Structure 1
């Protein structure tokens, strides 16, 4: 959020933006009902780089398909077995899937282990697998199916 603040306002009022970001993070951590996960800033930075790269690749692919109608699209729903633990890791996975171009989280089953994902082309499901793997590294949880 602080980076968004800087992008929108520049460095003007950076102290206010920093205080708001810290207050929001502290409030979110205090209100979270789940067990806390260890904070690994370097892993989050690596994840941010991964996510930006995947977003760029996916956005380029979607734009190319929109501009060149001869490229195939095969919209479909796919089941994705979630290997992350419930709580924050799973919530972030579901949220980030919808932010990646060409994918959208549709429905989580009641057990919280199966997610329906809509994709423009089947190849985008590989980015969902990579996303889950990267989140498992951030939260230091090994995937059960790796």
Structure 2
């Protein structure tokens, strides 16, 4: 397949669009990182136990590790914990993986907010940082390519 862009104006618009698209992804990654940092700064900690693994083929409700071409089921840990001044809670982590990152019976550290313990997360890299790194990394690469092309093709006085 051959792709040809005619005219200097079209090339500039494509380059500009690439930079904007990459910057948008980078900003989304930074926002997601800020959400994780904000969650961490106000979070209480509790010990939890993975009580089961929920195998799902619908990956749209959370993030996932691994290849998108593999449509097989992924394991989402179901964790039980007791907040400092509350009743026992159970939640399904939003990050699934194949092979499973956790085993039933495994002890994990749970992060939660005292005013909303139902919004809990496992204190792990994937749960907190996978999506910010994916969006930020893709954005950085795409914006970098667009900027490099713009810099290489700029008019010299």
TM-score of the pair, normalised by structure 2: 0.28
| Larger Rg belongs to | 2
The structure carrying a bigger helix percent of its residues is 1
TM-score of the pair, normalised by structure 1: 0.29
The structure, 1 or 2, with the larger RCO (C-alpha pairs under 8 Å, 6+ apart) is 2
